[in-house]
Structure 1
Amino acid sequence: MSDWLGTGTLVGGRVTLRPFTIDDADALARVVGDPARFRWAPSVPTDVESAAEWISAALADPQRRVAFAVVDNTDGRLVGSTSFYDIDPANLTAAIGYTFYAENVQGTRVNPTAKYLLMHHAFDQCGAVRLVWHTHESNTQSRAAIAKLGATFEGLLRKHRRFGDGWRTTAQFAMIDEDWPAAKAVLLERTRD
């Protein structure tokens, strides 16, 4: 686990973020449901075997990525994934992503609560100065969700990632430590029970 952003479990309101284990493969495979919902994602696990491979890859380099299972505290079910990745402790920066949720929790408090927990940990507990989000330029739902967190759109990164048989242009958003207090207040209001 990253010496800088690595953590155990993060808990707040409706959500618990806990490190993934390979034992989560079955539950993670059930999260995706219809893979067409994730047409903008490079890959999502669609069965137990691909979920086990996905988790193994997520855990392979804990200095660069810290992957969390997202658990809904109302019923204890694993309902998604989110991660710190591109962790750069020398520059106190990281990206947040590899996020996907079960259809029944999309549009609920789950995502803003999960992101609040990650951002609070990074900015308030670990001294981060910059967090970044990447998404496919055409993923309007993801772009709107990221903007709603208070992140600033910084531009498009052409041919940034491989995608299918071609390349993806990535929309990049970021938040710096000076932006966090205002974003934090909005997120706390959005996640209030």
Structure 2
Amino acid sequence: MTTTLLDWTPATPPPRAPIDGRFVRLEPLDAQRHGEDLWDALQGPDSDPAMWDYLPYGPFAERSAFDSWLQDKQGSSDPLFFTVIDKATVRAVGLLSFLRIAPADGCIEIGHIAFGRAMQRSPASTEAIWLLMSLAMDDLGNRRLEWKCNARNARSRRAAERLGFTQEGLFRQHAVIKGQNRDTAWFSIIDSEWPRRREALQRWLAAENFDEQGRQRQRLEAFREH
């Protein structure tokens, strides 16, 4: 049997550097600079407590515990955390990360997504994830982009499908999180699929796809159907 070797150059590890978009700017997590805004967005009176249901940490009853958690995460390289800065308000409104970073295999995951209520179901939330998707596939040269979530997390599963990830399967009894069983749903985009996913996201995020009130003219899924 003949083995075919890949014409393959390992991917580049993600840099700890800001990424600029139209609605948001991603900055490497800085607990001192971002902590106050993040506490307000993720734990304040207008936050979404359901956001913590499927994360392996939180919610935080004390600000000191939250600050300690941020301090720990800001020094991590895997996961590599980014703070989402709303460019309209110049305030931190959420977090997300790269994780399971494997440059030799060209595989990387997006996860640890914690968006304040104001960001949810907004162009800003889509753009924040798009910025990491584009960095991973276009700039760093990965072959595979992953998304994983608790199988009971309907919001995360819908988000993955909307963004163009393909569900690959279910890992039963994959983990124990907060004392509960987690079956994990696995999703991915591979490099042969990426050009079409990229085009759809770019077209959806374009200024002409939004009316004067900021409402979308076409759904993201519609751009993948053409």
Please report the TM-score for the alignment, with normalisation by the length of structure 2. 0.79
Structure 1 residue ranges, 4+ long, deviating more than 3 angstroms after superposition: 44-47
**Shift of the alpha carbon at 1:45?**
4.9
Q: Which ranges of structure 2 fall in alignment gaps of 5 or more residues?
A: 1-11, 208-226
Question: Is the 8 Å Cα contact of residues 83 and 96 (structure 2) preserved in structure 1?
Answer: yes
Give the percent of matched residue pairs that are identical in Structure 1 and Structure 2: 29
Residues 1:26 and 2:32 aligned together: no
2:18 is the counterpart of 1:9: yes
Counting only pairs closer than 5 Å after superposition, residues 86-105 of structure 1 correspond to structure 2 as 86-105=100-119
Q: Deviations over 1:69-122 (max 9, x none)?
A: 011111111110110001111111111000011111210011210111111111
Please give the per-residue CA displacement for 1:30-71, whole angstroms capped at 9, x wherever unaligned.
122242343122223534323222223323431x22110011
Residues 14 and 136 in structure 2, CA contact (< 8 A), matched pair in contact too: yes
Name the TM-score, length of structure 1 as normaliser: 0.91
Q: Name the counterpart of 1:173.
A: 187
Q: Partners of 1:7 and 1:21 in 2: how far apart?
A: 11
For the 8 Å contact 1:13–1:191, the answer to whether it is kept is no
Q: Considering fraction of residues, name the structure with more strand.
A: 1
Specify the code of the residue in structure 2 equivalent to 1:48.
Answer: R
Q: Does 1:59 align with 2:68?
A: no
Q: Secondary structure at the match of 1:117?
A: helix
Q: Structure 1: which 5+ residue stretches go unaligned? A: none
When Rg is computed on C-alpha atoms for both structures, the one with the higher figure is 2
The match for 1:36 is 50
Query: Considering only aligned residues, what root-mean-square deviation do their CA atoms show, in Å?
Result: 1.6
Higher relative contact order (CA 8 A, sep 6+): 1
1:136 corresponds to which residue?
Answer: 150
Alignment length (residue pairs): 190
